[in-house]
Copies of this chain bind each other. A is one copy, B any other.
């Protein structure tokens, strides 16, 4: 999405360790008008897929997931991060390794909010190595829900998670795919007119 790519070029900052800091419009301060446009694009891409629920992971996926769920007219559920969640009768739990923080954490969702056979669109702000997305898919697998795909605001294509999951058959659509961050400069995967 061209407007998102322009915003990344204009406001994003490349920090050591392949970090793309976009906290002026996505992670801390939010340009909700831009996110609403991204949500509209997600709706356009998945409108024929019978989406019944939107699933995201706290914290920074919540706003765009809520805006997306509103377009589809379906509920949104956010999985919670905990340092150590126990399996229980009430919730599904999965484990996610964070390369950024170099530790494992757990994510969980109440069983009553993920239903067998329900068609679920996963929405998140970032996709890098794909570990968080795999954790969300694992929650859906435990629930017997049907993942119709993943809609991502910014994918760091060079970290490989998106392409690995595409290779496993998951439909992954990203509003912007960063192919490289060389010398502080962001390069996008497609230079097309307006993906």
Contacts and interface: CB of A to CB of B under 8 A. Distances in A.
Interface of A: 23-25, 28-33, 35-36, 58-59, 62-63, 65-67, 69-70, 73, 75-78, 80, 109-110, 112-113
Contact of A113 (B29, B32, B77, B109): B29
Nearest 4 pairs between A and B by C-beta? A63-B66, A29-B113, A62-B62, A32-B69
Contact of A30 (B28, B32, B59, B76): B76
B30 A110 contact: no
10 contacts: A23-B110, A25-B75, A28-B109, A29-B77, A30-B66, A33-B70, A36-B70, A58-B58, A58-B59, A62-B63
A24 B63 contact: no
Contact of A70 (B23, B25, B32, B80): B32
Contacts of A67: 66-67, 70
A41 to B, nearest CB: 16
Contacts of A31: 75
Contacts of A73: 33
A63 B67 CA distance: 8
Contacts of A29: 75-77, 110, 113
Given A36-B70, A58-B59, A67-B67, A28 B78 contact: yes
B77 A110 contact: no
